Chains A and B, each alone.
Chain A
């Protein structure tokens, strides 16, 4: 069958058709649509959102332990959250096929860094797949699950924003492969990482490396084509191939190595050198991973060009334009940019509860000589911009709570954390426990819009239970306050904030009002039924 699918959707459909039993994920741009698609098209599979990427990774490993195929999805920075589970899943190995999808965001369209997840695959010493188009993304799910079960290792599937969020026609199977039956691991000790067992597992993983390379060389995912002028060679990874082909003229005669599977195919690179390569241009999306690795793989007199040499930009995603320049072609004639155009940054929606929360917070904070407000990851990070300029830090999921604690420990008052409900249950709860144990003088302001808003309104793990969670962690119930962020409640909100800032201990203020985007959706659905 033919379908018009986003890269993310092709991955999801590929997983469903490859006998998937469950997807585990926390929403994060550009990965969110994989899980949403499975929730829409295959409700019978496990597809409920996880509290964070680590719980997702661990649950998926548990499903794999029982012999079933599992998929974990996250944005690149989610890899940091699940790294403990991910790295050690490489040591345990798998029973049922296990694919970890990391969606990288070079150019930081919706992210705070552009870390390249391929480093994680190399770090964990497991194979990595990086499809070059939507069709290959679909096909690679069946291939990846088979490979995972054959090699008894998790597989990292790495995509980037343009792959995840671009649509193309994908041919899909008519009949999906059935799910695996429940089955215990052959050797349970593989999953018990006592040092004595772990050493054995690690030795096996090290010994398996040549096999991983052989699959990269022989399974057809990496394709080498000798050119008529093989002194010049080009290595592409993932969607870098498309930007090359957009511009490439066959008369250039370069040898081309298209990489979509790692570890690097040493034999194909060797062949490229043997065919006479004197200069190799590396076109890869993300950090210069292959460019650096190649330097240790080919004779030192071969010139390697790429992001490190300035032939391609050191930062940001690739484009057909920068690749065109890198292969020595003149730019197309263009219109001059219009000087009159000004920036239009994103902003909090009109009517959003975060707005009223920030209005109140700003007015109260101004009453103190040197307030510090530690923000977190979500729509409310936009409180850093005009007109609020309300936050003084934003680093990673959950950091608001613990950075406010550290600041309070250092002597800062008031030290205030602003965190969303979903981010709080993702990574804020453990930090709040630290605050409680130290009776840190902080106010944790949970801006609760009952959803994971920034990624489009997915379920939030603690909805309806935030007060119990906070008191359960040990916050004095008298200092767990709830307000409704609306202009008419401004005086009340400000009074509550003042009282809790002046209280010398850990307090939580929950500003609760539904996200207006999900509210609109709910009202529309109610009108229909």
Chain B
């Protein structure tokens, strides 16, 4: 088993929480893991990404090669497109369709979404609305996105839910329940 994942978004959106949950589940599965993060200046509202690599064999490079990513998980549609050079020819894009507008020259949203739809393997979803519908706060939008990516992760659905429970356990039962619900909502959207 080998999955190379690029997590993308805008500084402060919460891509590292997604990585934490996947990492927790992967370690329980006994997989090797490497995860390169961005700290420092770019976190101030700039584009951020994290390279997450999972494998049943030892992993060498901390970075994913161009053309090597099995999956791009993005909390922002244009940010998903920023990394397509890294996507394998048959790779998946799972992304929120809600733009993060903090720059004056953001391209036309419809064009951005059409570009994403041009990729054969894509899941495009409104994570914020889905979070709301699940009765979860806006901060749980990243867990909806994680849920939508589960079918492509190579880790079983139940194992991922266990991962969510363990990661959020110290925040109390209510927080665990909200986040599990958010993940299930995203998962249901993806497999429907």
Stretch from B77-85, B132-140, B180-188 contacting the other chain: B77-85
> How many interface residues does B have (CB within 8 Å)?
51
Interfacial chain A residues near B34, Cβ < 8 Å: 166-168
**Provided the pairs A342-B106, A346-B46 are in contact, do residues A320 and B65 lie with their beta carbons within 8 angstroms?**
yes
Taking CB atoms and an 8 Å cut-off, the chain A residues in 1-23 that contact chain B are 2, 4, 6
Bound form: Cα–Cα A386–B105 in Å: 12
Interface segment among B35-43, B123-131, B143-151, B153-161: the answer is B35-43
Contact A455 B23 (CB under 8 A): no
Give the contacting residue for A29; candidates B40, B61, B62, B111; CB below 8 A. Answer: B40
CB distance from A4 to the nearest CB of B (A): 6
Q: Contact: A165 with B36, CB < 8 Å?
A: yes
Inter-chain contact A338/B87, CB cutoff 8 Å:
no
- Binary per-residue interface labels of chain B (56-69) against chain A in the complex, 1 for a CB within 8 Å, 0 otherwise: 00011111111110
B183 CB, nearest partner CB in chain A, Å:
20
Per the 8 Å Cβ criterion, residues 208-262 of A in contact with B are 239, 241-243, 245-247
Task: Assess the A246–B61 pair: CB atoms within 8 A.
Answer: yes
Complex contacts, A168 vs chain B, CB 8 Å: 32-35, 59, 62
Partner of A245, one of B60, B63, B68: B60
Quick check: which of A51-59, A143-151, A327-335, A396-404 contacts chain B, the rest being far away? Answer: A327-335
The answer to whether A347 and B60 touch across the interface, beta carbons within 8 angstroms, is no
- A338 touching B102 by the CB < 8 A rule? no
Does A315 belong to the interface (CB within 8 Å)? no
Contact A167 B112 (CB under 8 A): no
- On whether the beta carbons of A319 and B63 are closer than 8 Å, the reply is yes
Residue numbers in B under 8 Å from A343 (CB-CB): 47, 103
Report if B7 contacts A (CB, 8 A). no
Q: How close is A11's CB to chain B, nearest CB, in angstroms?
A: 15
Give min CB distance, B97 to chain A, whole Å.
15
Contact A29 B39 (CB under 8 A): yes
Tell me if B117 is interfacial: C-beta within 8 Å of chain A. Answer: no
Contact assessment for A242 and B62 in the assembled complex, using a CB-CB cutoff below 8 Å: yes
Question: By the criterion CB–CB under 8 Å, are A321 and B65 in contact?
Answer: yes
Contact B41 A338, beta carbon cutoff 8 Å = no
Q: Is the CB of A162 within 8 A of B62?
A: yes
Residue ID in chain B nearest A379 by CB atoms: B44
B10 on interface, CB distance cutoff 8 Å: yes
A109 and B41 within 8 A (CB)? yes
Q: Which of A2, A109, A241, A338 has the most CB of B within 10 A?
A: A338
Write out the residue numbers on chain A whose beta carbons fall within 8 Å of the beta carbon of B10. 344
A346-B66 contact, Cβ under 8 Å, with A246-B60, A333-B89, A340-B81: no
Rounded to whole Å, the gap between the CB of B23 and the closest CB of chain A is 6
- B191 at interface, CB cutoff 8 A: no
Report yes or no: A341 in contact with B66, Cβ–Cβ below 8 A: no
Decide yes or no whether A78 CB sits under 8 A from chain B.
no
One of B33, B46, B82 near A345 (C-beta < 8 A): B46
CB-defined contacts of A169 to chain B, threshold 8 Å: 27, 32-33
Known: A162-B36, A169-B33, A344-B103. A332 touches B66 (CB 8 A): yes
**A372 in contact (CB, < 8 A):** no
A455 and B115 alpha carbons, distance in the complex (Å): 36
Q: A411-433: which have CB < 8 Å to B?
A: none
Q: Which B residue sits closest to A344, measured CB to CB?
A: B47
Q: Evaluate whether A346 and B43 lie within 8 angstroms (CB atoms) in the complex, with A162-B63, A243-B61 already known.
A: yes
What's the Cα separation between A332 and B88 when bound, in Å?
A: 9
Q: A4-B33, A29-B40, A342-B105 are in contact. Are A349 and B65 (CB under 8 A)?
A: no
Once bound together, how far apart are the Cα atoms of A195 and B78, in whole Å?
Answer: 63
Complex CA–CA separation, A344 to B102 (angstroms): 8
Measured in the bound complex, the distance between the Cα atoms of B136 and A272 in whole Å is 62
Task: Give A158 Cβ to nearest chain B Cβ, in Å.
Answer: 16
Candidates B35, B81, B107; contact of A167 at CB < 8 Å: B35
- For A346, the chain B residues whose CB sits under 8 A away are 11, 41-46
Interchain CA distance A487-B45 in the complex, whole Å: 22
In this complex, which of A166, A247, A454, A455 has the most chain B Cβ atoms within 10 angstroms of its Cβ? A166
CB <8 Å contact, B61 and A320: yes
Question: A376 at the A/B interface (Cβ < 8 Å)?
Answer: no
Nearest CB of chain A from residue B168's CB, rounded to whole Å = 16
Q: Is the CB of B61 within 8 A of A242?
A: yes
How far apart sit A319 and B104, CA to CA, in the bound complex (Å)? 32
Find chain B residues with CB under 8 A from A109 CB.
38, 40-42
Chain B neighbourhood of A29, CB < 8 A: 39-41
Most central of B35, B41, B102 by chain A CB within 10 Å: B41
Chain A residues, Cβ within 8 Å of B51: 166
B residues in contact with A338, CB < 8 Å:
81-82, 84, 115
Leading 9 A-B pairs by shortest Cβ distance? A110-B40, A332-B67, A29-B40, A346-B46, A246-B61, A334-B67, A166-B62, A346-B44, A320-B65
Instruction: Enumerate chain B interface residues (CB-CB to A < 8 A).
Output: 10-11, 23, 27, 32-47, 51, 59-68, 78-79, 81-82, 84-89, 102-107, 111-112, 115, 119
Known contacts A335-B89, A346-B46, then 20 further A-B pairs from the complex at CB < 8 Å, ordered by chain A residue: A2-B27, A4-B27, A4-B33, A110-B39, A163-B62, A165-B36, A165-B37, A167-B23, A246-B61, A246-B65, A320-B64, A332-B66, A332-B68, A334-B66, A337-B85, A341-B78, A342-B105, A344-B46, A347-B102, A349-B44
Subset of 10 A-B contacts with CB under 8 Å: A29-B39, A110-B39, A165-B36, A319-B65, A333-B67, A340-B81, A344-B103, A346-B42, A347-B45, A349-B45
